[in-house]
Amino acid sequence: DTGVSQNPRHKITKRGQNVTFRCDPISEHNRLYWYRQTLGQGPEFLTYFQNEAQLEKSRLLSDRFSAERPKGSFSTLEIQRTEQGDSAMYLCASSHVGFEQYFGPGTRLTVT
Partner 1 sequence: KQEVTQIPAALSVPEGENLVLNCSFTDSAIYNLQWFRQDPGKGLTSLLLIQSSQREQTSGRLNASLDKSSGRSTLYIAASQPGDSATYLCAADDYKLSFGAGTTVTVRA
Phi-psi region of 63 (alpha: psi -120 to 50; beta: other; left: phi over 0): alpha
Among 48, 79, 88, 94, binds partner 1 (CB under 8 A): 48
- Identify whether the C-beta of residue 56 lies closer than 8 Å to the C-beta of residue 79: no
Q: How far is CA 80 from the centre of its chain?
A: 14
Instruction: State how far the Cα of 38 lies from the Cα of 3, in Å rounded to an integer.
Output: 23
Among 7, 30, 66, 101, binds partner 1 (CB under 8 A): 101
Give the x/- contact pattern for partner 1 in 7-46, rule: CB under 8 A: --------------------------x-x----xxxxxx-
Taking the complex as a whole, how short is the minimal distance between the CB of residue 39 and partner 1, in angstroms? Answer: 10
User: Which residues contact partner 1 by CB under 8 A?
Assistant: 33, 35, 40-45, 48, 56, 91, 93, 98-106, 108
